[in-house]
Amino acid sequence: GIVLELLKEAMVSKLGDTKGFLIDGYPQDLKEAEEFESKIGEPKLVFCLDCSAETMSSRLLMSHQSSQHPDNTETIKEEIESYYQASNPMIAYYEKTTQLCKVN
C-alpha cells in the first residue's frame, strides 16, 4: 500500500507536465496490478522483459559475485521460481485486459 500511495502521489504531482509514465518493477504480482488499477487507473501499455530462467540465473550469479552476495545457485533457482509464480498470472491478466508488449 505504501508503494502504491507514493506512486500515486508522484504521478498526480506531474500530471500537467507529462504525456505518461514508465514504472519499472511495479506491479510485481496480480494483487498489486489490481490495486494499481482500482486506485490509479488501467495502464495503456505494459512491457514485459522476457528471458529464460537460465539467462536470469546466470545474470543473478554474476551480479551476486560482483557484490559478494552469498546466494548460491539453489537459492537463485528458488527466487526465479517464486518470480514466475507471481508474474505469470499478472502477465496473463495483462494479455487479456491491455496491450502487453513482450521484449526478448
Q: Residue 92: which CATH number?
A: 3.40.50.300
Among 75, 40, 42, residue whose Cα is nearest residue 60: 75
pLDDT tens digit sequence for 26-66: 999 999 999 999 999 999 999 998 999 999 888 888 877 76
Q: Helices in 14-99 by DSSP H: which ranges?
A: 30-39, 53-66, 73-97
Cα separation values, 43 from 16, 30, 35, 64, 87, Å: 18, 14, 12, 33, 16
- Beta partners for residue 103, in sequence order: 49
Average pLDDT for 21-29 = 91
Contact 55, 66 (CB under 8 A): no
How many structural domains does the chain have?
A: 1
Phi, psi of 54 (to 5 degrees): -65, -45
Query: Which domain covers residue 65, as residue numbers?
Result: 2-102
The model's pTM: 0.77
